[in-house]
Structure 1
Amino acid sequence: MKILLLYKDKQVREVLAFSLESKFQLDVAYAEDVKTAIKRLDDPAEKVCLLIFGYKDFFSDVLLYRASKRQGFPSVAIIEKDSKELAKAKSSDTRLKFVLLTNLIENVYKAVEELITEKAIEGMNSESEFCRIKTNVLLLTSPLKGDVYIRLSPVKFLKLMRQGDDFNDEDLYKYTTKKKIDYLFLKTEDSVEFVLKLKEQIAALMRGEAALVPVIQLEQVGEGVQPETMSPDQVQPKKIVAVKKITLPQVLAKDPDSVHEVLHEMSHRLGFTKEVQELAKVSVQQAVDTMKRNPKLSSLLSKLKRDKEKYISSHSMLAGHIACALASQMTWTSEATYEKLTLASMLHDISLRNQELAAVSTLDDLEEKKGKFSQDEIEAYKSHPLYGAEIAKRFTEIPPDVDIIIAQHHERPDGTGFPRGVTHSRIGPLSTVFIVAHDIVHFLFSADVSKEFSKEQLMEFFEKYKDTYTFGNFKKILAVVPKLDSPAAEN
């Protein structure tokens, strides 16, 4: 199932597409004109369930198409202002909704929800029923705020643990080490409570308050019985035999990218709700504190993994730490600077889901690999800096300029970058820091990720980019790259 978007303004179209994908967990396809739209609508393989279009440019043609369908095709028309002429159309066709361009995202959400409630869109739910959560993160949300499931197939889930159960080290060992299950699943309706609990735990741990984690003795389920084959009534009660304390470093040492993965998953499942925003802010503060306590890059990178299978979260965490290290060497060491760079690192690829696509660095790289991706994926990739910038604008109480850093993170000093193709003179100083950090991360991932970080890699990067970063702030920042493994500058 997918939504087809027919709208001329590219920026509005792309921001709306990301918002719809995040909210309704459906692919959004583009059409440049009515002819292409009708072709996709009439193709059963496209599985289009809803058309969203611009009233001003396409209304008459779309009406003709919808009239050819016995009941009309579920559609949302975007209008710039209301008028008396629209009143008759609004009242006579319940499968056609009109929304104002002002407050567009919220208005489209409401219209689509109405069509779902009215059963106008077949087979579409307003929310995906389940969302995944990193298994080790459950340690920080115990006792569980909702039931936890394992996925047996794309549509079948088995309940493993109930709301109120304690998740402990033995559970973690059983699922991640023995069963190789890195992700379990929650009901989407319960995920907000998990996000709130995780935020509270991280905030407490940052204050030095160790979390209490139960050590539990598992009752025997039966010889040879696997979690995947258990029925809910076979899950045996557990007995708490001890309680131990854990600290944030202990949790994150096992998987430093885990909190970012939760943030990434929940943003796609829930949208950027107040709770998800709060989790992002607490995570930013934790990362900044880590940088301030242990600023040597080699020390930071020894704790951060380069995992190509989890590229989005892994490289996002690395980019934030390296950007802060670069800023420190430039003596830009204010708390606000670190917060801006770290939040930008968490949000810059937040709209992407394809790990391999996220690892693409330049338009030339994208051209070489375009056969691996659909046209819709390619278009979404080219615009993802603007998506992330739009998300940053929705955050409340964050430092300014984060959206600019995100919007510019794929620009190049010579103007060959995207999405706007600006040159070094129009790229902000912190954006420049982040671009260089992002390039260092891409360089480190291109190397053998099994090898530990070394100073030699920094020199290799310096040599590779010395003829590229020859302009303004880029040249100045490149000059401090060889010093990155030195202690950071003092505040």
Structure 2
Amino acid sequence: MNKPKIILIGKNKNLLDLICFSLQTNFRFEIVRFVSILDVIEYMDVNTDFCLVISDFAIGEKQFSNTLKTFMDKKIDVPFFALGATKKFREKNENREVVSEYIGKKNILEDLNSAVEKYFSVDKSVEPKEFCEVGFSVLTSFEGLQTDLFIQLPTGRHLKIYRQEDQINDEDVSKYQGKGVDELFLHKKVSHWLLNTINKNIESVVDNIESNKPVVLQVEPPMPEVKVEEVVEEALDEKDLMSKLNEASEEENLNKIHKDINEIFEITEELEKELGEKVGKAVKAVQKVPHLSKLLKKLNVSRNGDDYCKSHVGLLCKLTTAICHIMDWKQDATIEKLVFVSYLHDITLSDFPHLARIQSKEELRKLGDKISPDEKKVFLEHPEVIKKLVDEMPEAPADASNIILQHHENCQGTGFPFGHSANRLLPLTAVFIIAHDLVSFIIDDPNWDMKVFAELASERYSGANFNKIVRKLKTLKLK
């Protein structure tokens, strides 16, 4: 669920930090900040998803007047709050009636909260958020502050980067901002506790901010007791932080890929649920074989979206299922078989993820001495090795081992291990090969285009089983 947006306009970053901290402690808004009226106009030209505009009069009377004129000319039907406008302006400006609320700076945060409550009601059906954003400038105002601090990863999860015993200082501001971390998060109980101290000293805090003087506040004991409900990881050091940020970014990219696939193949929530159940069934079957269970643990241990084997398997499960659905091959046994094959087809390469990226003998040849003789042997023999392992599994679906054996063959007969051409390959092998190639196409190009793949598929595949699938791919709603 998207949070309602507020446009906040002002030139003093520290004052905006303070206002944002108060609003996000007390409400559930997303705040979009601007320092220039030109940027505001540009934003309003393409966005209508905001519910309130708040502008600091200290941006300058001319800019403030232009903001009001733009607001009026565009006939924007949302409240407009003015912060710190002079009495003369309130009485004489021709567009003053556009302003819904004039809020002074003597008690700015509490008065602003009261004005917001006047225009917006709290949706009590929405679960209160556990963490609250806080700017570095707010944190460094408090001398001796010791509290756990978090960042929010692109996936929405939170990551602890400061422990309660750590001291926060100005050096941390530049250190973390240089790494793209502009906002930290506090537990909501702590943010209310700090905000209470700020509001007790609000006049001097705002005066110092607007005079470019340091704000120095003392924490008022006792600190509230905090119990974090969300399962939160911790960054052990800067290197670990950057690693986790990269992992989360890759995971977010992978989530976007899954979302795009869902739209193209019209995958419903019900189908997603069915797929999850079939993945669970396949995993249970693998876990009963000790050797394969160990390899499966290696596949599942990392959350890193850049873990090729794991992301590769997840996309294969989805795409083989999606292709079966557009082909109207929706029998449970068929889907379960392809999900099983998706998990097992490269299982012996879990220790060699760089080998799992290789798709053909030609790619292997081009890598030359980068791949050792032993690794070449592992790669070229893995379809046959895995087939033998699957044949010994009592719960393996019928023909699953043969699809695995054939998954590196191709229509032209230049694949391996046997060089079989299209007419020797099983119909579900055709599904798997096309899905496998599509996964590689997607992973190799962040800007992948399904229409481009469909055209390439027309040139790459031949034979009745392949041609049927290609024709269906061309009927999709291609982006």
TM-score bracket, normalised by the shorter chain, equals 0.3 to 0.5
- With a CA cutoff of 8 Å and minimum separation of 6, indicate the structure with the bigger relative contact order: 1
TM-score (norm 2): 0.40
Give the number of the structure whose alpha-carbon radius of gyration is greater: 2
Q: Taking structure 1 as the reference length, what is the TM-score of the superposition?
A: 0.39
